[in-house]
Amino acid sequence: MEKTDTVTPDAVSSGGKLFLEDLMEGQKFVSRAFDLSAEQIQKFASEFDPQPFHLDDEAAKGTIFGGLASSGWHVAAITMRLISESVPFANGIIGAGGEISWPRPTRPGDRLTVESEVTKITPSRSRPDRGIVVLRSATRNQHNEIVQSLLANLVVLRRQIVPALAT
């Protein structure tokens, strides 16, 4: 597989871990699908975002959403799960800032997938063991509509080179 190929869930299931040197601008990663239910939306909302349009379909009908909608933070958590599975950074995903938006509501029954693209790689001058990778991710529903956009600056480690032992 070349670095410019799109990396699919099957390609990362082998346990390969990515370091800064393994990445290339334009490289894409595609997640598996995640099916979202009304029960999942309501459970998350009851604990973390208890607003009527996330908790009760009838109450939600009278809101700007016109029906039950997932919390954006729930969609962000699902997106994080899918990115952590599909973009296998050796050190995990360590955020260093970014931007997030939810251009349309996520609904019960939506099937979500995430496509991520490496848009910039900047090796650190002060910390040679790492760099910053800018990853643009679009979370889409089954209609190919974007329900979340994420632009994340991520700390990614370089492969450690062990110096040869002097004999």
pLDDT, tens digit, 9 for 90 and up, residues 89-98: 998 888 899 9
Q: Is 79 exposed, middle or buried (0-12, 13-18, 19+ CB in 10 A)?
A: buried
Q: Is 103 exposed, middle or buried (0-12, 13-18, 19+ CB in 10 A)?
A: exposed
Query: Considering the chain, what percentage of its residues have pLDDT values greater than 90?
Result: 81
Closest CA to 76 of 17, 131, 36, 38: 36
For residue 28, pLDDT over 60 is answered with yes
- Write down the mean pLDDT value for the chain: 90
Q: Taking residues 6-15, what's their average pLDDT?
A: 51
Residue 59 covered by a domain = no
Query: Number of folded domains in the chain?
Result: 1
Whole-prediction pTM value? 0.86
Residue 1 covered by a domain = no
**Which CATH number belongs to the domain containing residue 30 in this structure?**
3.10.129.10
Query: Considering the chain, what percentage of its residues have pLDDT values greater than 70?
Result: 87
Residue 152 belongs to domain spanning: 6-36+71-157
Residue 50 covered by a domain = no
Rounded distance between C-alpha atoms, residue 116 and residue 138, angstroms: 6
For residue 15, pLDDT over 90 is answered with no
